[in-house]
Amino acid sequence: MLERLLAGAPSLDRDGGAPAHAQIEHWLTYLIERRELVPGDKLPREADLAAGLGISRMTLRQALGRLESRGVVERMPGRYGGTFVVEPKIECDITGLAGFTEQLRRGQVRAFARVVSARELPASREVARALRLAPEAPAYEVVRVRSARRSPLALERSYFPAEQFPGLLGHRLTGSLYTLLRREYNSAPHTAREFLEPVKASQAESALLRVDPATPLMLIERTAYSSSGIPVEFARDLFRPDRIRITVRTSAGGHA
């Protein structure tokens, strides 16, 4: 592998360009994106790769450390260890109020949905409080597994006030629910309040997400509101952090 990699190695620009470690990181990322390096591949020994590139091992380790922090490679110690290419995490940008389909589309990834259950039930105390409903008022519960690249990524559990969205469960529920609310009810979410919290997968959740029980997951609890401030959705979404990398874009406010 070393000779094959070095045959296409870049000529490092050391005169005013990006730092050498950044150029190596970009090059290895390019090889992975082009599937010239695939998940499971083991990179050559650090000493050999650094010597072949004409850089120090410290510079190479900087590049590999950046790739590891992004979830692109994994460095394993021991006799049979080394640096291995892993399945890259999918960027999920939760900036603004967008559904899962749109969040993944920003990363040029196509999302799929499988409906686990869709039913009307009396609102629990938590759901009633979030949606400002009377205790045990009718609410719709929609549970879906969201997938991409043939792998389950998230388990969505959303609640909607039944009186506000009559006949919701009669519509196709495998597409964007936010688009459905906008198109059929003219009541798409406009703002939301979200909380992020690490949790562990239950037995049922682990089966749906194909992970071991008690696997760490990221919970995003969300209450979404219409433009008039009326709650339209309460959701508890569970994400696999081994497959999803959640990002948020921010900008400077009016204060220095």
Q: How confident is the model at residue 111 (pLDDT cuts 50, 70, 90)?
A: confident
Residue 40: per-residue pLDDT: 87
Q: Pairing mode, if any, of strands 90-93 and 244-247? A: parallel
How confident is residue 57, by pLDDT bands cut at 50, 70 and 90? very high
* Bridge partners, 22 (sequence order): none
**What is the CATH number that goes with domain 90-247?**
3.40.1410.10
**pLDDT at residue number 73:** 87
Rounded to an integer, the average pLDDT of 196-205 is 96
Min mean pLDDT across 33-42, 101-110, 207-216 is at 101-110
Q: Is 104 exposed, middle or buried (0-12, 13-18, 19+ CB in 10 A)?
A: buried
Task: Please report which confidence band the pLDDT of residue 172 belongs to, taking 50, 70 and 90 as the band edges.
Answer: very high
pLDDT at 201: 96
Residue 78: the pLDDT is 80
CATH code that applies to domain 2-85: 1.10.10.10
Given a cut of 60, whether residue 254 has pLDDT beyond it is: no
Of the candidate ranges 7-11, 40-44, 165-169, the one whose mean pLDDT is the lowest:
7-11
> Which pLDDT value is given to residue 114?
94
What phi and psi values does residue 9 have, to the nearest 5 degrees?
Answer: -70, 145
pLDDT surpasses 50 at 256: no
Residue 226's pLDDT is 93
Q: What is the domain partition of the chain in residue ranges?
A: 2-85, 90-247
At 131, which helix (H) or strand (E)? helix 125-131
pTM confidence score:
0.70
Using CA atoms in the order 228, 142, 193, 107, what is the torsion angle rounded to 10 degrees? -110
pLDDT of residue 77: 83
